[in-house]
Amino acid sequence: MLRRSHKKSKKGCTQCLVSKRRHVKCDEGRPTCLLCTMSNRECSFASDPQPPEGTNSSTSDSSPRDESLFSLDTNLRSTSATSLSDSHESSFDSVVNMEHMELFIHGITSKDLFSLGDKVEHSQEMLDIWLKESVKAPYLLHQVLAFSARHLAVIHPDRSISYLDQAVKLQTRAVSLFNSTKREVDSSNCLPILLFSVTLGHHLLADALATRTSDGLDGFLTHYVQCVEMNRGLYRLTVSAWPLLLNTELEPVLSWSSRQSSKDPIGNHCEPMTQLINDSAALSNEEKEVCHEAIQYLQLGFDAMFEEDDGSRYRMIFQWTMLASPGLTSLLATKRPEALILLGYYALLLHHGRSLWQQETRAFSARPKPKVMTCGKALRKPIILATRVLTKQGRNKKPRAYGVEYMVGEGLYSADGRYDPEQTGEIREVHAKHEVIVSGGAFNTPQILMLSGIGPREELEAWDIPVVVDLPAVGSNLHDNYESPCTGTFDDEDPCFVLWRDDASGPHASRDSSYGAVWRSSQSWDNDSDLMFLSSPGLSGLVGFYPGYSTGERAGSDPAEWMHAVVKMQTSDSAGTVRLNSSDPRIRPNINFNYFTESAERDLDAIVEGIEMLRRAFDATGVPYTQLSPDPENLRQSIQDLAFSHHASSTCAIGADDDGNSCVDSRFRVRGVDNLRVVDASVFPRSPGGMPNGPTWTISRKAFETLLEDNH
């Protein structure tokens, strides 16, 4: 192959620097190196290109800004650049090619490409202006195409590598073209400059939010700070051109956006953060001012989240990054705790806007997209009540789940405090493309299955429900933990109470459990601990979950009192049941835990041991106290009267094919029905210890892995 001399330097075109191909060297010629042309690659130089001939390299006196505003880094790369394969390269030297046309058509037809907090009525207006100005300014056209490729990488993850490759190349070319344009801002170029800044800023934010590196938080912070700094530079461009922009056709949109950003905050979501900044001794007055400014914009973001106007709901997700001061980025870069907490508040805004495509990370994941569809958005709304799984006979004569029937309306379920028996709701259906996953929990999952004709034959026939599959284990095997309160009150000389009374410190200042412990009683089945202890100050009335509990109407709350919860993690009771109370899906099921039935004495002995151990600990303090509950004179009966729990599980247990107490196999598939799975705490064969939260997350992760394997 013909080679030209190649200088050994750190310069050269971006393609050669990134790919580092030994068999294709770069001769660093301008504007396009010979060997890049021969190898059918775009040549984009790492060094800044020279201004066009005849353009003054210094800023005109009439220009409202300095030259640095027009000097964007041409090494700017998407966060995904290092993972792209050379095999996906294609020529972009042509004026127009088919890849460009695909990106252009997607850009003008996609409804949400440029949407990040804009009013709906502005969308078409903005798109028209974008298209018109793109034709005039090649740098804007390249950036729009790059952004379109970035969007396609999200919605078509199977082709994400190719689209991300295009996005990187087009963005690099856009910045290079931008740096070589006319330096002064005037009425002829202010509009494309603004649109370029906005599009590039959105692109950078999407890349930063998708960043996943082995460095964890450090890697993300590095990318995010770079994104903020670049957006701040783009914001300066916009500010310098603001008077000119207000005389353009974009004035209505800009005026609306300015009004939104200049509003006074009205919510109190950020009050704890404001107080933390005010009380911080580690921050200077200037740093506190920087943080308060950031908090003000964050609160505007939270205010917008709860506005009825959908068009402005997410605007601060982008604007907060753009409006961040240099002082804030400095605090973030040095990982100051206060700045990281501010970033945590920003993460809440991101969580509210998690449906935005700019936050989608699957294009950067090596995992394939699972071919699984639950019931989409339909079943995630609070006014939706799932009523049954839709099934039909498959090709193998076996029932096959194909969707879900649900009701729409408020106050439909009798367990809801808003329940209205006169409300019938509108019945609708949603059909699954691949599978149906039921995740109703230990009570509602068996109820939904039985209403669908999947459960014990006798139970279904008793309610005139057609039997799809006779599965006796559905709704059986209900397990739970016993939880018994052990409360006492101390006098005013209790040292812990004195700390709370004098300066609101000490254990009594805790909002939740001040300690937790596990202990093995003499009744444990094995060498594992079977009792767990939790303690809370100022609470004496926790005797179960009754009507009004969730609204704070608790009986007994005294700062001098202390409550210990004794949780029996291994129970010997006979498994309970969940059975239908009606064939009407609005009526809650009949739940029977069978508390203290089989082997009740063994469970009682264990709880008694735990309570006696706690009272010995009270005695050892030397501080006088009074026992409140359980009644020391009638301890065993008092425990049975007060015991409760909230860790129900195991009503659709996983088990072997020959296990009559199970109805789900090891891959979460409901026996006897194709395309139907259960993923929630109901699949545990027994109660998984004292706190089911962690085990439930773990088994959900296992289900996720299983679904990927089965649908790959």
Task: Convert the pLDDT of each residue in 599-636 to its tens digit.
Answer: 778 888 888 888 888 888 888 877 777 887 888 788 88
Give strand pairing partners of 589: none
pLDDT number for residue 452: 96
Least confident span in 82-96, 241-255, 311-325: 82-96
Asked if residue 73 lies in contact with residue 175, where contact means CB atoms within 8 angstroms, the answer is yes
Backbone dihedral region of 622: left (phi > 0), alpha (psi from -120 to 50 degrees) or beta?
left
Give residue 307's pLDDT band: very low, low, confident or very high (50, 70, 90).
low
pLDDT number for residue 490: 75
Higher pLDDT, 381 or 479: 479
pLDDT number for residue 462: 95
pLDDT number for residue 541: 56
Each residue of 427-470: pLDDT tens digit? 999 999 889 999 999 999 999 999 999 999 999 999 999 999 99
pLDDT number for residue 183: 63
Question: Does 495 have pLDDT greater than 90?
Answer: no
Residue 39 is encoded by which pair of tokens? 């190898």
**SS3 assignment, position 324:** coil
Distance CA 3, CA 34 (A): 9
Inter-axis angle of helices 315-323 and 217-240, nearest 10: 80
Distance CA 316, CA 427 (A): 38
Enclosing H/E stretch for 469:
strand 469-470
Backbone dihedral region of 499: left (phi > 0), alpha (psi from -120 to 50 degrees) or beta?
alpha
pLDDT number for residue 399: 95
Distance CA 157, CA 166 (A): 14
- Count CA atoms within 13 Å of residue 194 on its CB side: 25
Enclosing H/E stretch for 386:
strand 384-393
Distance CA 293, CA 290 (A): 5
CA 172 to mean position of chain CA atoms: 31
Distance CA 662, CA 446 (A): 12
Give residue 327's pLDDT band: very low, low, confident or very high (50, 70, 90).
confident
Distance CA 571, CA 643 (A): 13
Name residue, tokens 């939740």.
512
Question: Does 176 have pLDDT greater than 90?
Answer: no
Asked if residue 61 lies in contact with residue 76, where contact means CB atoms within 8 angstroms, the answer is no
Amino acid letter for position 365: S
Distance CA 575, CA 525 (A): 17
**657: burial class by Cβ within 10 Å (0-12, 13-18, 19+)?**
exposed
Question: Does 382 have pLDDT greater than 80?
Answer: no
Q: Cite the residue boundaries of each domain of the chain with CATH code 3.50.50.60.
A: 376-477+649-710
pLDDT number for residue 572: 62
Asked if residue 295 lies in contact with residue 342, where contact means CB atoms within 8 angstroms, the answer is yes
Asked if residue 379 lies in contact with residue 406, where contact means CB atoms within 8 angstroms, the answer is yes
Name residue, tokens 């009425």.
187
Exposure string over 372-403, b if 16+ CB within 10 A, otherwise e: bebbeeeeeeeebbbbbbbbeeeeeeebbbbb
Asked if residue 509 lies in contact with residue 536, where contact means CB atoms within 8 angstroms, the answer is no
Distance CA 42, CA 90 (A): 8
Q: Which fold has domain 482-642?
A: Glucose Oxidase; domain 3 (3.30.560)
Greatest pairwise CA separation for the chain in angstroms: 101
DSSP state of 306: T
Distance CA 36, CA 47 (A): 16
Give residue 33's pLDDT band: very low, low, confident or very high (50, 70, 90).
very low
Asked if residue 530 lies in contact with residue 570, where contact means CB atoms within 8 angstroms, the answer is yes
DSSP state of 585: T
CA 250 to mean position of chain CA atoms: 34
Residue 239 is encoded by which pair of tokens? 């500010």
Name residue, tokens 């109370």.
581
Question: Does 329 have pLDDT greater than 70?
Answer: yes
State the average pLDDT over residues 45-57: 40
Q: Cite the residue boundaries of each domain of the chain with CATH code 3.30.560.10.
A: 482-642
pLDDT > 90 fraction of the chain, expressed in percent and rounded = 18
Other beta carbons less than 10 A from residue 606's beta carbon: 24
Residue 274 is encoded by which pair of tokens? 């404001």
Q: What angle do CA 35, 84, 43 make, to 5 degrees?
A: 25
13 φ, ψ (degrees, to nearest 5): -75, 155
Give residue 545's pLDDT band: very low, low, confident or very high (50, 70, 90).
low
Enclosing H/E stretch for 535:
strand 531-537
Enclosing H/E stretch for 384:
strand 384-393
Name residue, tokens 């860790």.
647
Q: CA separation (Å) from 468 to 357, 398, 562, 618?
A: 40, 10, 52, 57
Residue 575 is encoded by which pair of tokens? 């498994």
Give residue 665's pLDDT band: very low, low, confident or very high (50, 70, 90).
very high
pLDDT number for residue 403: 94
Per-chain mean pLDDT for the chain: 75
State the average pLDDT over residues 70-80: 43
Distance CA 226, CA 169 (A): 19
Q: Find which of 101-105, 254-258, 681-685 is predicted with most confidence, using mean pLDDT.
A: 681-685
Give residue 560's pLDDT band: very low, low, confident or very high (50, 70, 90).
low
State the average pLDDT over residues 260-272: 78
CATH for the stretch 376-477+649-710: 3.50.50.60
Evaluated on CA atoms 607, 612, 613, 619, the torsion sign reads positive
Give residue 125's pLDDT band: very low, low, confident or very high (50, 70, 90).
low
